[in-house]
A = this chain, B = another copy of it.
Amino acid sequence: MPRPARIQDVAAAAGVSVSTVSNVLNRPERVNAGTVEKVLAIVAELDYVPHPGAAGLRAAHARSIGLVLPDIANSFYARIARGASDAAFRQGYALSLCHSGDDPEREAEYFSMLVAQRASGVVVAPLGADPGRLERLRRRGVPLVLADRTRPTAEGCSVSVDDVAGGALAVAHLLEGGARSVLVVNGPREIRQCADRHQGARQAARRVRGAVLEQVVTPRMTVECGYEAGLAIETAPDAVFCTNDFLAVGVLRALTERGLAVPGDVRLVGYGDLDAAGVAALTTVRQPVEDLGAAAIELLLDEVEAGPDHIHEARVFAPSLVVRASAP
C-alpha cells in the first residue's frame, strides 16, 4: 500500500522549497501565480492532503457547524438536514449531525460536545421550550440559529415557515371551491403549529360570507386519530381541513368506509406534503423546508464571518398549496 504523500514529496516534485508549498496552501497571495498553479497541480496529482498543523489547525477545526434535530428520521427534519447540508457544503463547512432522539439531556450533551469541539456555530430545531438550554449555549458565545421557531431578533437569528398563512391557504382554497361548512381536524393546540394553522383557517373563513368553521381536536396527529375523528363526524361538512397529512389520510379512510366520496361529497386538504400525501392523492400545504435549512446555514455563517457587521434576522418562509385529487 503506497504511503500518503507528504509536503516534502510535493516540494520535490514541484522543484520548490517546503515553505513555498506551505505558502501556496496557506498564504497564496505571497507566491507568484505561476508557482501557485504548478504547486497545486502537483498537490492534485499526488493527492496530497495538508496535515492540520499549528497554523492550519484552527481553520480546519473551526469549519464545522452543529445541526441539532429532535429526529433525523422524521421527514420534516430530514429535509431541513438536506437543505442545511447543501448550503454548508457550498461554503466548505462540515455539518455535525446531532440527533437528540427527543431527549433533552442528550440535546444538552450535544451542545457541550459542540462547544468542546469548537464548532463555528449551531443550528438547532429546539425540542420543547426550555429557554435555559439555549441560553446556556448562547452564554458560551456560540452563534446559534433557531430553525422551525421564531425568536426576537435581539436574541439571534431564526428561520421558520408561516403556519398561519398555511392554514389560511388551505381553507381559502376550500371556500373558493364552493364549500361553506369546513371542519378543521386539529392536533392539540399546545403545539404551536396547530394553534397557528387554526388561526389561519379562521382568518380565511372570516373573509367569506356564510362560511362556517368548526374544529375537532385529536390527542395525536396520526392516521389512527384521523380515522377516529372521521368516524365520529355526525353531519358531513362540505370540506375537511386536517392540520397534518397523517390526520388527513385517516379521515379519508373513515369517510370512504362510510360511503362518502372524496372529493364528490367532502373535499379534503392536508398539511405538510409528506410522502403520504402523494400516496393518498391529497391536496395539501407544502412547506419549503429545504430552503429553511439552507437559510439557517447562511444566516449562521453570516454571523460567524461578518462578526459585528451581522444583523440578526427572523426569516419566515411562505408555504404553498399542492393541488391533488382530494380537493381539486
Residues of B within 8 A of A1 (CB): 139, 141
As a 0/1 sequence over residues 1 to 35 of chain A, the CB contacts with chain B under 8 angstroms (1 = contact) are 11010000000000000000000000000000000
State A201–B290 Cα separation when bound (angstroms).
38
State A4–B140 Cα separation when bound (angstroms).
6
Q: Closest residue to A222 on the B side, CB-wise?
A: B278
Q: Closest residue to A136 on the B side, CB-wise?
A: B47
Q: Would A112 and B275 count as touching, CB distance under 8 A?
A: no
Query: How many monomers of this chain does the complex have?
Result: 2
Tell me whether A116 is interfacial, beta carbon within 8 Å.
Answer: yes
Q: Kindly name the residue among A72, A110, A139, A276 whose own CB sees the greatest number of chain B CB atoms within 10 A.
A: A72
Closest Cβ of chain B: how far from A283's Cβ, in Å?
16
Tell me whether A120 is interfacial, beta carbon within 8 Å.
Answer: no
Q: Closest residue to A5 on the B side, CB-wise?
A: B140
Q: A60-B117, A75-B73 in contact; A85/B112 too (CB < 8 A)? A: no
State A61–B75 Cα separation when bound (angstroms).
30
Q: Would A279 and B75 count as touching, CB distance under 8 A?
A: no
Residues of B within 8 A of A82 (CB): 71-73, 99, 101
Residues of B within 8 A of A280 (CB): 279-280
Q: Would A52 and B117 count as touching, CB distance under 8 A?
A: yes
Q: Closest residue to A101 on the B side, CB-wise?
A: B86
Stretch from A89-97, A228-236, A295-303 contacting the other chain? A89-97
Tell me whether A189 is interfacial, beta carbon within 8 Å.
Answer: no
Q: Would A96 and B99 count as touching, CB distance under 8 A?
A: no
Q: Would B99 and A85 count as touching, CB distance under 8 A?
A: yes
Q: Closest residue to A81 on the B side, CB-wise?
A: B72
State A166–B113 Cα separation when bound (angstroms).
39
- CB proximity to B under 8 Å, residues A160-190: none
Residues of B within 8 A of A157 (CB): none
Closest Cβ of chain B: how far from A227's Cβ, in Å?
11
Q: Would B116 and A49 count as touching, CB distance under 8 A?
A: yes
Closest Cβ of chain B: how far from A254's Cβ, in Å?
13
Residues of B within 8 A of A72 (CB): 72, 78, 81-82, 85
Tell me whether A38 is interfacial, beta carbon within 8 Å.
Answer: no
Residues of B within 8 A of A94 (CB): 96, 98, 113-114, 117
Residues of B within 8 A of A118 (CB): 52
State A290–B114 Cα separation when bound (angstroms).
24
Q: Closest residue to A96 on the B side, CB-wise?
A: B94
Tell me whether A79 is interfacial, beta carbon within 8 Å.
Answer: yes
State A141–B4 Cα separation when bound (angstroms).
8
Given contacts A4-B140, A57-B57, A82-B99, 16 further A-B contacts (CB under 8 A): A4-B139, A52-B116, A52-B117, A60-B117, A72-B72, A73-B75, A73-B79, A75-B75, A78-B81, A82-B101, A94-B113, A94-B117, A95-B98, A223-B278, A223-B279, A279-B279
